[in-house]
Structure 1
Amino acid sequence: MRLYPSLIIIDKHPFFWRLAIFGILFFGLTVMHAPAQSQLKRSRAQLEKEKADIQKRLREFDTILKQTTAQKSNTLGELKAVNQKLDARIKYIGTLNREVLLINREISSTEKSINALEKDLENLKQEYAAMIYTSYKLNQGVNVLVFVFSSSTFKQFYLRMRYLKQYADERKKQVAQMEKVTEELSAERSLLEGKRLEKERILAQERTEKEQLDRLKSEQQGLVSNLTKKEQELRNEIAAAKKQQENLNRLIKSVIEEEIRLAEAESKKSGSRTTTTSASKVPLTPEGAAISTSFAGNRGKIPWPVESGFISKRYGTYPHPTLKGITETNDGVDIQTNRDEPVRSVFDGVVTKITTVPGMGGTVIIRHGDFYTMYSRLKTVSVKSGQQVKTKSIIGTVNTDKNGVSELHFQTWKGLEVMDPSIWLSKK
């Protein structure tokens, strides 16, 4: 017989093998595409978090700047707030640049996916056309029913029926596969269009941010120019700050030395065991030693003494922001914050000293084993000497000076050794 001579045509028919190969390739493309998409999603999530954090900081700086300029303009406090806002906006523009690059990668990935799907769809159409053509050639001039019922044996009848069913099933699968690829292609094209629109939106936002950045730079330059004209006033402020710093250092050293003396005397009197470290020389009870170990183990993780704010004067010696040839020295950090901002203990400890230092307002010293933290420029104090405090316990509120600047002075010590507080505080 000229038509469907035997069932062996199923094994030899190239369509079935090409369909199987296509299925394997299609699955492989899907598997290879998935990890790349997953990585892009992780990058996107990380970038969105970074943008949200910077936007939150920008809102903080806006609030602090408005409070600072409400009372008096052209002050160092205003310049510091503008500088922080300028740095944050530069970082934010950087995240927008990275977001554009990420979108470009997403667009490229989507375009590759579209090209692959278009190629797959074309292959499927060609395979389907070949299948229809082969079916037509094999069935030319013969009715299917005649072909089936002309079988010479029941086995041949069964095999011909099974073959026709398989052939019909494969045609259905082919059509379903083409429909699936067509739907995926449509979805990818919609996704591509969305990514291109998103890119345009980000680029427009970036242009707006750069305009605001230029205005901030002009504001910064104007502030520096006006502050330079106040040279003598600034020199007097530097001299006063130096004297205040010396008074603070004498205060905390005297407190620590007195505690060492009393602890040693108590130890001799009671015969109890105490320990010291070679660096601090502070006698410690077992409980105090445990707190010291815990404090040391939380380096870089300790919460800030205020919820909102930024470091306006860092630890160490550095050039004055506007006066050439003048340097400033700070044994702690100054944190510019909001008016009446609550001040918190940064760790579990005991309040060892409450006093007022000329020019620095209320001052509280808290002991954490052989570590000490000092909080100055307090408007109010809400703890008592000898009181046990926990991490983030409120100890007072920050003071606002005559220029409208709300700023906390914060120090950390280990025994009689002053340390850089920023190495202990968590990152913002």
Structure 2
Amino acid sequence: MKLHRLLFILFFSALTLSAVAQTESQLRRKKEAIQREIEQLQKNLNKTANGKKLTLQQINTINAQIRLRQDKIGTINSEIKNLDNQISQNTNTVHTLQGQLGDLKKEYAGMIRFAQRNRNAYDKMMFIFASKDFNQAYKRIKYLQQFSQYRKKQAGYIESTQNDLNGKIRVLDKTLKEKSNLLKEQERERERLGKDKNEQSVVLSKLSKDEKRFKQDIVARKKQQAQIDRAISAAIQRAIEEARRKAAEEARRKAAEEARIAAAKAKAENRPAPATPTAPAAKSKSTAELLTATPEAARLSAGFENNKGRLPWPVATGTITERYGMHKVDQATYTNDGVDITTSDGATVRAVFAGKVAAVQVFMGRTVVLINHGEYFTVYQNLRSVSVSVGNLVETKQAIGVVANTGDDAILKFQIRRGQAALNPEAWISK
């Protein structure tokens, strides 16, 4: 029973440690990915720091760097928590193994004492010959053999348990060292976070001194973005009207076919032809119904929706430096209907899902691509060059162009819309 308990404890510990190791691996990969994003943002900041003119990009980059640094500290905290659980489990296992080892040694000592008392061959023979009959003598011979074998097994259990105990102690020592290193890393990240926040304070102080010019920059940006958003809305509306026109044509075709069949039936039955039915009005349909009227569009729309939270990023590597929604910088406010993703120079822009190119338009030397996915649309803004045209069918992750540099950074402005309604892309793309 003791041996069974020992094996169960070791088996359970192995399963637990396997799960912990998997979680540790995931956390380590996440931490490394965050660090790569921080380093990329720092490179961008180093390029823009030499400029005399403060830009919104610098503020967004610093804010994103602070957010990533906080995420990294949170990831380190999770790693430390996992190690604490592992240390606790290993400590309990060590104590259990020590108890089991003590019990095994006591049992073995008792067997050794018994063997010492009966080590004489004459005593063993007397033990056998003192039997009442042959059957009892046979059982006593078997008992002596089994006792000898069990003693050898018990010695093996003691050695195996001692090895397991030494192994667990080594793992425990290693885990304690890992925790110590993580605590040091956590302290370094907190110091860097403090420096980032100091830099943020300096930038905001500089901003307040140049408030007038900065407000003018934001007004100009809002005006330009409003122009682009109107063009995007118009392109989406054209797609809706095209769907409405096709729905109306299909309704007229069905009505004409039904009238032809009814007339043929009436003629065969030698009765007057019925009045021609009026095609149902396509305008009564909702936008969602119009955009998913065909089987292909319905499949695209359902596929897009089913992949919420798992859509690939529109660039292979990048960091969200401006999030969706209302933003306030000093006293100036503006709204972003998507996210701004800072990426590397010359990065390839990819379609996040299969669809059809609905629009390709140029504004102030920068191109906007609109892709239709049934009821949904994705918008890729600030492209230097494009490799698709209106009407092209695209696949998931297919290259559609190259991101342009805005100032010193390569920034892709990315939106997701359901009809005309802007959605938060962070809820749709993978984490």
User: Which TM-score band (shorter chain)?
Assistant: 0.7 to 0.9
Greater shift in the superposed pair: 102-111 or 28-37: 28-37
Listed as ranges, the matches of 1:187-202 within 5 Å are 187-202=167-182
Is 2:299 aligned against 1:295? no
Query: Which one of 324, 332, 356 corresponds to residue 326 of structure 1?
Result: 332
Aligned partner of residue 364 in structure 1, secondary structure: strand
With structure 2 as the length reference, what TM-score do the two structures score? Answer: 0.81
Is 2:375 aligned against 1:370? yes
Q: Is the 8 A contact 1:410 1:421 kept in 2?
A: no
Query: Which one of 145, 170, 177 corresponds to residue 165 of structure 1?
Result: 145
Is 2:425 aligned against 1:422? yes
Q: Is the 8 A contact 1:75 1:227 kept in 2?
A: no
The alpha-carbon distance between structure 1 residues 91 and 252, as it changes in their structure 2 partners (threshold 3 A), is closer
CA distance, structure 1, for counterparts of residue 85 and residue 210 of structure 2:
52
For residue 300 of structure 1, what is the amino acid of its counterpart? G
CA distance, structure 1, for counterparts of residue 373 and residue 190 of structure 2:
46
Q: How far 1:181 moved relative to its partner?
A: 2.2
Q: How far 1:193 moved relative to its partner?
A: 2.2
Aligned to 1:58: 35
Aligned partner of residue 339 in structure 1, secondary structure: coil
Aligned to 1:204: 184
Identity across matched positions, percent: 30
CA distance, structure 1, for counterparts of residue 289 and residue 131 of structure 2:
106
CA distance, structure 2, for counterparts of residue 137 and residue 258 of structure 1:
102
Post-superposition CA distance 1:266-299 (Å, at most 9, x none): 5555734689852447464332233223323333
Post-superposition CA distance 1:386-427 (Å, at most 9, x none): 22222222121111123x122122223333x22214255223
- Superposition RMSD in Å: 3.0
Aligned partner of residue 416 in structure 2, secondary structure: strand
Post-superposition CA distance 1:171-195 (Å, at most 9, x none): 2233222222222222222222222
Q: How far 1:335 moved relative to its partner?
A: 2.0
The alpha-carbon distance between structure 1 residues 228 and 132, as it changes in their structure 2 partners (threshold 3 A), is same
Aligned partner of residue 406 in structure 1, secondary structure: strand
Aligned partner of residue 391 in structure 2, secondary structure: coil
Aligned to 1:380: 385
Listed as ranges, the matches of 1:29-428 within 5 Å are 29-71=6-48, 72-73=50-51, 74-137=54-117, 143-145=123-125, 148=128, 154-155=134-135, 157-265=137-245, 268=248, 271-272=252-253, 278-280=286-288, 282=290, 284-320=293-329, 323=330, 325-358=331-364, 361-402=366-407, 404-415=408-419, 417-422=420-425, 425-428=428-431
- Consecutive unaligned residues of structure 2, counting only runs of 5 or more, are 255-281
Q: How far 1:243 moved relative to its partner?
A: 1.0
CA distance, structure 1, for counterparts of residue 99 and residue 179 of structure 2:
27
The alpha-carbon distance between structure 1 residues 203 and 276, as it changes in their structure 2 partners (threshold 3 A), is farther
CA distance, structure 2, for counterparts of residue 79 and residue 142 of structure 1:
95
Post-superposition CA distance 1:120-159 (Å, at most 9, x none): 2222232233333344456789544455567786556534
CA distance, structure 2, for counterparts of residue 146 and residue 218 of structure 1:
92
Aligned partner of residue 386 in structure 1, secondary structure: coil
CA distance, structure 2, for counterparts of residue 269 and residue 166 of structure 1:
93
Aligned partner of residue 305 in structure 1, secondary structure: coil
The alpha-carbon distance between structure 1 residues 268 and 183, as it changes in their structure 2 partners (threshold 3 A), is closer
Aligned partner of residue 366 in structure 1, secondary structure: strand
Q: How far 1:161 moved relative to its partner?
A: 2.7
Q: Is the 8 A contact 2:342 2:410 kept in 1?
A: yes
Q: How far 1:235 moved relative to its partner?
A: 0.6
Pairs aligned (count): 399
Query: Which one of 26, 51, 70 corresponds to residue 3 of structure 2?
Result: 26
Q: Is the 8 A contact 1:40 1:102 kept in 2?
A: no
Aligned partner of residue 312 in structure 2, secondary structure: coil
CA distance, structure 1, for counterparts of residue 163 and residue 391 of structure 2:
73
Q: Is the 8 A contact 2:247 2:290 kept in 1?
A: no
Determine which structure has greater relative contact order: mean sequence separation of CA pairs < 8 Å that are 6+ residues apart, divided by chain length. Answer: 1
CA distance, structure 1, for counterparts of residue 409 and residue 171 of structure 2:
50
CA distance, structure 1, for counterparts of residue 114 and residue 308 of structure 2:
76
Q: How far 1:68 moved relative to its partner?
A: 4.8
Aligned to 2:275: none
CA distance, structure 2, for counterparts of residue 144 and residue 260 of structure 1:
101
The alpha-carbon distance between structure 1 residues 141 and 299, as it changes in their structure 2 partners (threshold 3 A), is closer
The alpha-carbon distance between structure 1 residues 127 and 276, as it changes in their structure 2 partners (threshold 3 A), is farther
